[in-house]
Structure 1
Amino acid sequence: MTIADTRANTFVQSAVLVADREVRMRLRSKAFIVSSAILLLAVIASIVAGSIFGASASSSVTRVAVVGDSGSFAQVASLDVTEADSVGAAEQLVRAGDVEAAIVPGDGPTGIRILALEEAPSALVQLLSVTPEVSLLEPADQNGSLAYLVGLGFGIVFFMAATLFGTTIAQSVVEEKASRVVEILMSAISARALLAGKVIGNTVLAFGQIVLIAAAAIVGLVVTGQDALLGDLGPSIVWFVVFFAVGFVLLAALFASAAALVSRQEDIGSVTTPVMMLVMIPYFLIVFAWDNDLVLTIMSYVPFSAPIGMPMRVYLGTAEWWEPLLSLVVIIATTVVVVLLGSRIYSNSLLRTGARVKILDALRG
């Protein structure tokens, strides 16, 4: 075994030890467990609520009485039909409250008329109205309201997970630096191994949380009978998990390297604000421009917004089969560059205490 192989093995072992320490510390944190549980319950609750409201809407049945040939107009699933022998009998049923309205023969163009007490049921009027033929030149592949909720869901999950784990990494770095624990750690392992362990450990936790949320969403859709929605949403969920796993490595490296520039907890906000903006901008874009194909296309190829933009385009059906692969290559290449630069900043800043270290000084070493 060469010296290079020995160093590589030592680096990997050190990174694994740090990652294991990060995972154990987070799993023992009540704040982490509670926040993860709240996010998971919110996803499950939204799916169950959608199922309940959808079922109540579909189960709304209008009770009507029909006379003679007018019954042919009432043969739809959302009507509870009671046959009456005459118009008078149908009127009595309406007055008695046994039915909400009656469909009886009429002299108008449709040949029928509706009898009701104070106001005709709007659902019944719409069902019996003549709808003109409609031809859509550019039909939408998905329901607009549902598409908005899907985009909002991707944005919220990405924003919360990236913010939670990113700030945790930043606080950990500054805490170790302020307490001088980092000096002890670096006497045993390299700064790059320490950074790699922090990034890997928190990425594993973030990825596990996202996978758990995705699994809960899939199970919830199956249990509540929303299989049709699962068929449309499944591929975009898979791509979201994949893009998040890579994108979080990029963000974790940025949070860690930015936090290494300062030595006090009070200064974390000043150095991590630019990174937080990179997380917040995609969230606001998906909220306000979820149906703008140009904005979504640009988001799909920007590394910081691709974890939201590309899965959304996959769901909407506006992305070609090769576009997620190309976007993934772009984000992986960007992540490699950011990790290399971040590790240099992290290594050159970690042992500097006192005033904030300038980025150019950290890059030059």
Structure 2
Amino acid sequence: MNKGTMMVYRFTLAQMVKNKSNRVVFGILILLSVLAIPIAGLLLGDSSSAVTSSVEISSMSDYLDSSHIGYETRTGVQYLYSILVLIICVLSTTYIVRSIVEEKASRLVETLMVSVKPLALVFGKILAVMTFMFGMLLLILAAAGLSWLISGQFMDVSFVANMLAAQGISGELLHLDAKVFVVAVISMILAYFLFSLISGLSGAGCSSMEEVDSANMAATGCILIGYLISCMALGGFGDTVTIIMSICPVVSAFTAPAFYIFGDIGFVTVACSWLVQGACIAALLVVTARVYDQLILYRGSRIKMKQILSMAGRGEGGKRK
């Protein structure tokens, strides 16, 4: 990262950390993650073992076939991962759009552009939001894990494992290891960059805060399309459709890691999905480099994504009548 990118990165990250609403929201989430285990233990601790035992007795055939991944297990894993990606991407893209439009409206961006290149402006902002969002996610998970360890000292917390087992979710069945973790994290990061660049371009086409909601729809619409298709992917449409959904950039962000866990696709297919997403990200970076400086200085009615791509293709920058 060059000096300009680092300057925008530090400035944006500092603004996010100082923002009172951000601190309140994530403070509440961390508090809930700390209290979730002990409260659930008090409410569900005694009943969870009975539920688990009944499930084990009623599904003995599935138990004997240890390689079988049932529909409930697929549903739980797919929804868990998809919702996680959905939350991170929607919150991030919403903040990026709002931040870009606020800087345009206050003309702060014009001051920044004196010493910072256009691509560094958007890239530094995206990296800062990524650091904040993924950092908070790690803090929330760490708080939940610490709560589980501490709660285990004075109460029975086996209900967590029992509830997961009741849904057929176990590390042995799903072959969870470091490789699966790496696949999920890389796919999530690529998805973040893809949707964030779309939101950055969409936000740069706005001139006032009244246009923020409509600008959000460009990135949020892509995210929701990928999420909804991933929900329908549980039905099983054959190997060909599975591979297509694993490679299509908007959809693969939600489906490829889950399909890899289920054994529906191999690592080669996952790698191909990364290459396709990487190519889309590279293309968006080229578009950003061509038109972002003109978009960020533009004042007028909102420029839609289709017009932005057309401008980049013709090499016209922001020349508009």
TM-score grouping bracket, smaller chain normalisation:
0.7 to 0.9
Does the aligned pair in 1 maintain the 2:226–2:253 contact within 8 Å? no
Does the aligned pair in 1 maintain the 2:190–2:277 contact within 8 Å? yes
State the partner residue of 1:22.
12
Give the Cα–Cα distance (whole angstroms) in 2 for the partners of residues 308 and 168 of structure 1: 21
Give the Å deviation of 1:172.
Answer: 1.0
- Tell me the alpha carbon deviations over residues 40-68 of structure 1, each in whole angstroms, 9 at most, x when there is no partner: 6677788885998587343479xxxxxxx
Q: Name the stretch that deviates more: 212-221 or 29-38.
A: 212-221
Give the Cα–Cα distance (whole angstroms) in 2 for the partners of residues 331 and 209 of structure 1: 25
Q: Name the stretch that deviates more: 160-169 or 270-279.
A: 270-279
**Which residue of the other structure, out of 155, 177, 182, is the alignment partner of 2:104?**
177
- Tell me the alpha carbon deviations over residues 197-248 of structure 1, each in whole angstroms, 9 at most, x when there is no partner: 1122112223324444565677788875539824534554442222111221
Instruction: List runs of 5+ in structure 2 lacking aligned partners.
Output: none
The number of equivalent residue pairs is 289
Give the Cα–Cα distance (whole angstroms) in 2 for the partners of residues 50 and 291 of structure 1: 34
Give the Å deviation of 1:25.
Answer: 1.0
**Which residue of the other structure, out of 156, 170, 181, is the alignment partner of 1:229?**
170
Does the aligned pair in 2 maintain the 1:22–1:201 contact within 8 Å? yes
State the partner residue of 1:103.
none
Alignment of 1:176-325 (within 5 A): 176-212=103-139, 224=157, 226=161, 229-231=170-172, 232=174, 233-234=176-177, 236-292=180-236, 294=238, 296-325=242-271
Distance 1:343 1:203, change over 3 A: farther
State the partner residue of 1:333.
279
Please give the TM-score of this superposition, normalised by the length of structure 1: 0.67
Give the Cα–Cα distance (whole angstroms) in 2 for the partners of residues 200 and 193 of structure 1: 10
Q: Name the stretch that deviates more: 158-167 or 34-43.
A: 34-43
Distance 1:34 1:355, change over 3 A: same
Give the fraction of aligned pairs with identical amino acids, expressed as a percent: 25
Give the Å deviation of 1:21.
Answer: 1.1
- Tell me the alpha carbon deviations over residues 3-58 of structure 1, each in whole angstroms, 9 at most, x when there is no partner: xxxxxxxx701100110111111112233234445556677788885998587343
Give the Å deviation of 1:142.
Answer: 2.1
Pick 1 or 2: higher relative contact order, CA cutoff 8 A, min separation 6: 2
Distance 1:265 1:271, change over 3 A: same
State the partner residue of 2:288.
342
Give the Cα–Cα distance (whole angstroms) in 1 for the partners of residues 125 and 95 of structure 2: 10
Give the Cα–Cα distance (whole angstroms) in 1 for the partners of residues 51 and 301 of structure 2: 67
The answer to whether the aligner puts 1:162 opposite 2:89 as a matched pair is: yes
Give the Cα–Cα distance (whole angstroms) in 2 for the partners of residues 144 and 44 of structure 1: 31
Give the Å deviation of 1:280.
Answer: 0.6
Does the aligned pair in 1 maintain the 2:242–2:264 contact within 8 Å? no
Instruction: List runs of 5+ in structure 1 lacking aligned partners.
Output: 1-10, 62-77, 79-122
Aligned residue type for 1:156: I
Does the aligned pair in 2 maintain the 1:240–1:308 contact within 8 Å? no
Aligned-residue CA RMSD (Å): 3.7
Q: Which has the larger radius of gyration?
A: 1
Distance 1:281 1:199, change over 3 A: same
**Which residue of the other structure, out of 306, 316, 320, is the alignment partner of 1:364?**
316
SS in 2 for 1:273: helix
Does the aligned pair in 1 maintain the 2:203–2:216 contact within 8 Å? yes
Give the Cα–Cα distance (whole angstroms) in 2 for the partners of residues 339 and 320 of structure 1: 29
Give the Å deviation of 1:271.
Answer: 3.0
The structure carrying a bigger strand percent of its residues is 1
Does the aligned pair in 2 maintain the 1:155–1:282 contact within 8 Å? no
State the partner residue of 1:97.
none
Does the aligned pair in 2 maintain the 1:15–1:197 contact within 8 Å? yes
Give the Cα–Cα distance (whole angstroms) in 1 for the partners of residues 245 and 145 of structure 2: 25
- Tell me the alpha carbon deviations over residues 314-337 of structure 1, each in whole angstroms, 9 at most, x when there is no partner: 221222132222222221222111
The structure carrying a bigger helix percent of its residues is 2
Give the Cα–Cα distance (whole angstroms) in 2 for the partners of residues 319 and 29 of structure 1: 42
